[in-house]
Chain A
Amino acid sequence: MVTEITKLENSYEEAFRTLQGRSKNSRGSWLPHLREKAMERFAELGFPSVKDEEWKYTNVAPIARIDFRPLLLADAVAPGSDANRLADFTCAEAAQSQLVFVNGVLRGDLSSLTALPEEVVAIDLSQALTNPGYSEIAREHLARYADYVANGFTALNTAFVDGGAFVYLPKSVTVKAPLHLLFISDGNRLATFPRVLIVAEENASATLIESYASTSDADYFTNAVVEVVLKDGARLEHYKVQRESAQAFHIATTMAELGPNTSYDATAITFGAALSRHDIHVTMDHEGAECWVDGLYLVTGNQHTDTHSVIDHRKPHCTSHQLYKGILDGKSRAVFNGKIFVRHDAQKTDALQTNKNLLLSNEARVDTKPQLEILADDVKCAHGAAVGQIDQDELFYLETRGIHHDLARNLLTYGFAEEVIGKIKIDSIRAELDEAVLNRLNARLEA
């Protein structure tokens, strides 16, 4: 195993050397130094194995086996994607507030930021790193939260930090239009390392859509890391929509650091990829923070999706809500692992965690592991998990009202998902989900 990985790492190693060679003298020494350390760490860690408790149910050997080529910004040929082909993935609400990345490269021609207030910064991360106005902010926060020492994928992403998005919300700014970061991949055997840093200053408020999609059915590898920093009283609604190609591998990490009295509302929607894994880690190290860490995964065929979440209550008077729902068909498999930590000081914590799964097929499989680790006594914590199928009494009830068996199943499936879909405030995403949930089932009806 070790020898195999070492051999395959060489293609990452080679690209890494090229990247480092070009970066010399250009951006001070800290960034190449960070990358160097991350690459060293990746060389030590390699890709995780199923022997690691955190990866027990998700085997990433297929990612290790394929010789993905990292695409370096400087080498990237402007790809052929045009605005028309992207129409399926853009959001009407964010037509004038989107950054589009194609195979990791920010495409100015497809992006528009005219709907954003002037003081809001949304630029390519590589620009931010060289811009004297922002490089200090970037340096202060980048790789500060996403731990490349513990996680091989984060290490690999950090080793290739170059392009990506840098979003800075100054004090008290309220952004009405949702900012859409759209990452499109379409190159076979390509590895991309999207990196996003969002810093919201005091009382800033915004909505972010982070989405991944493909215009082809290529078997690429996305390894994304997103760091979110919310200062006093800041508010962020964060949607992650994953619609990668059916052959793709999607590994993503979201790290959110919540300041006092902040509000972080995250919703992760998973449709795509052959294998996907999302680690979301919310740290509440200040009083009065509140977060929602919700998600919906819809998988079928041989898809495998894995969500690992950590909600870390470190200080008193914080509240967390978590609701993950899964709908599984075909031979798909879903993993949910949710940890809630309540540290010794975190009195008056209120934490609720729920994971519910609906199995539509007898060959689908769910492994769920909600966990509570509580070290403070004056807290309100509860969690629940359920795996089940469509309720026969509900089905019968709908049928007695003349609704076809399969359509009744659709409706009940929709009813199951509604709790998550209903909270989404972006109409176009909600409409897409409505359609996806009802349609995937309509397709069964017509088949």
Chain B
Amino acid sequence: MSTVELLGKQEYKYGFVTDIESDVIPRGLTEDTIRLIVAKKNEPEWMLEFRLKAYRHWLTMTEPKHWPNISYPEINYQDVIYYSAPKRKATKASLDEVDPELLRTFEKLGIPLTEQKQLAGVAVDAVFDSVSVATTYKEKLKKHGVIFCSFTEAIREYPDLVRKYLGSVVPTNDNFFAALNSAVFSDGSFCFIPRGVRCPMELSTYFRINNSESGQFERTLIIAEEGAYVSYLEGCTAPKFDKNQLHAAVVELVALDDAQIKYSTVQNWYAGDEKGVGGIYNFVTKRGKCAGRNSKISWTQVETGSAITWKYPSCILQGDNSIGEFYSVALTNHAQQADTGTKMIHLGKNTRSTIISKGIAAGKSNNSYRGLVKVMPKAENSRNYTQCDSMLIGSNSGANTFPYIEVMNNTSSVEHEASTSKISEEQLFYLQQRGISQEDAVSLIINGFCKDVFLQLPMEFAVEAQRLLGMKLEGSVG
């Protein structure tokens, strides 16, 4: 059995473009651009200040090109369109007012939004380029006191909550891309689960980039009050363009005493073609704060798309007994590059964190795990367990592990284990001998390799993730 050159030419089935007229602002970024966005969105003065502060800070910062294990040509930030919205914008009083073309688009993506077809048990906020076009089950959720709406609406309707928590986990000056996002973010999702409420359905946001010239800068803020619980899902796709598009999102989670937030992502942005032309630059800052005692934040991600992924969903374990989890599958093929992992910052006593990362590198791709576990002096009796496994498919890919472990007290313990392997030929042979095709066998083995992570995903997502992995790897082993 020999590993052959990549044959995978599976079509990216989400690569179509929606023909829709958009309200697009001129390229480039100045303070005037920000004022224009604020004016278009009718935002209050404090938002303008928030954005300008971030922008001014951004001007002083440099792009983190040095330390991550990724490389890409210089991005001209003056060549990006920072706001693009479908023209017939829905007032969202009723879904009937949403442009049918958009409804068709989301339906094609497997996210039907109309009342009759809505996914059972999942409330969806659909974001198209820079704006949220529809949110389902809003009223039903409201009855439970759960707020789930677009960010634009949240700024308008719940300014006090937004002001209180926006930037409280990821400050505007946190890093280059977070500062950029803070300056220009156009929309996104807002979730608020009040004290003691267990959110009755999964909340989800589906992100779609349609415009070839625009970046997407969305913002997600989830707040779970004392004793609340929410499971949130996020999916993303984009058309195939030869040009790279920038996606710089910021996600902030806040969990108060005894609250739990489960955040799952299946990321399938367009990854570029086999030669590495096109694809999304996915530069995302995601961070959760376990602010309260006994709180828990769990990140699960399946990263299969994007030309470049740069993201480190993290947990700040501030409350005593709080728990942080990170479960990740990152698959790269062709010319994809991923530098992803997590940070677990233990501040409170008896805090626990678990990191399970599975990296799969095929083609000429480069896949890095980068993680920080930091145990501060006062985080007594804290524990971390990390396991990072990599699998290489073909001999032209690279798999790297960069864990940073910093321990500052002796009542805590941290354990890190990592391994790198390839699909064993005996395993493949065994399965094939039982009549399973080689591609199915590979897919089976990979899914087994990722099982610990898939188990964390809600059912529908897990199935989708497995299918996606199989599809992405098709033809990559011979």
Contacts and interface: CB of A to CB of B under 8 A. Distances in A.
Direct contact of A and B (CB under 8 A): yes
Interface of A: 53, 344, 347, 357, 359-389
B433 interface: no
A386 B416 contact: yes
A358 B220 CA distance: 41
22 contacts: A344-B395, A347-B395, A360-B410, A361-B410, A362-B411, A365-B408, A366-B405, A367-B404, A368-B405, A369-B403, A369-B404, A374-B390, A374-B400, A380-B421, A383-B419, A385-B403, A386-B414, A386-B415, A387-B407, A387-B413, A388-B414, A389-B410
B288 interface: no
Contacts of B399: 372, 374
A381 B419 contact: yes
Interface of B: 3, 67, 375, 377, 390, 392-422
A432 B412 CA distance: 30
Given A381-B420, A389-B410, 7 more contacts: A347-B395, A372-B420, A374-B420, A383-B401, A384-B415, A385-B415, A389-B413
A372 B410 contact: no
B401 A388 contact: no
A379 B410 contact: no
A341 to B, nearest CB: 10
A380 B419 CA distance: 8
B409 A362 contact: yes
A380 B421 CA distance: 6
Nearest to B67: A53
Interface-centre pick from A364, A383, A387 (highest chain B CB count, 10 A) = A387
Contacts of B404: 367, 369
Contacts of B403: 369-371, 385
B401 A364 contact: no
A383 B418 contact: yes
Contact of A385 (B392, B412, B416): B416
Contact of A377 (B3, B67, B407, B409): B3
Contacts of A387: 375, 405, 407, 412-414
Contacts of B400: 371-374
A377 B405 contact: no
Contacts of B420: 372, 374, 379-382
A357 B409 CA distance: 12
Chain A interface mostly: strand
A359 B410 contact: yes
A53 B420 CA distance: 24
Contacts of B401: 370-373, 383
Contacts of B407: 357, 359, 365-367, 387
Contacts of B410: 359-362, 364, 389
B120 to A, nearest CB: 43
A408 to B, nearest CB: 17
A56 to B, nearest CB: 9
A385 B422 CA distance: 22
Nearest to B375: A387
Interface-centre pick from B410, B418, B422 (highest chain A CB count, 10 A) = B410
Contacts of A366: 405-407
A368 B402 CA distance: 10
A384 B386 CA distance: 9
Contacts of B394: 377
Contacts of A367: 404-407
Contacts of B390: 372, 374
A392 to B, nearest CB: 10
Contacts of B393: 377
Contacts of B3: 377
Contacts of B421: 380
A381 B392 CA distance: 11
A361 B412 CA distance: 11
A8 B278 CA distance: 51
Nearest to B393: A377
B353 to A, nearest CB: 13
Nearest to B385: A386
A383 B400 CA distance: 12
A369 B418 contact: no
B414 A369 contact: no
A204 B133 CA distance: 75
A371 B402 contact: yes
B404 to A, nearest CB: 5
Given A365-B407, A373-B398, A386 B418 contact: no
A376 B395 contact: yes
B4 to A, nearest CB: 12
Contacts of A386: 413-416
Contacts of A372: 390, 399-401, 418, 420
A150 B40 CA distance: 52
Nearest to B421: A380
A375 B363 CA distance: 11
Nearest to A373: B400
B418 A377 contact: no
A415 B420 CA distance: 29
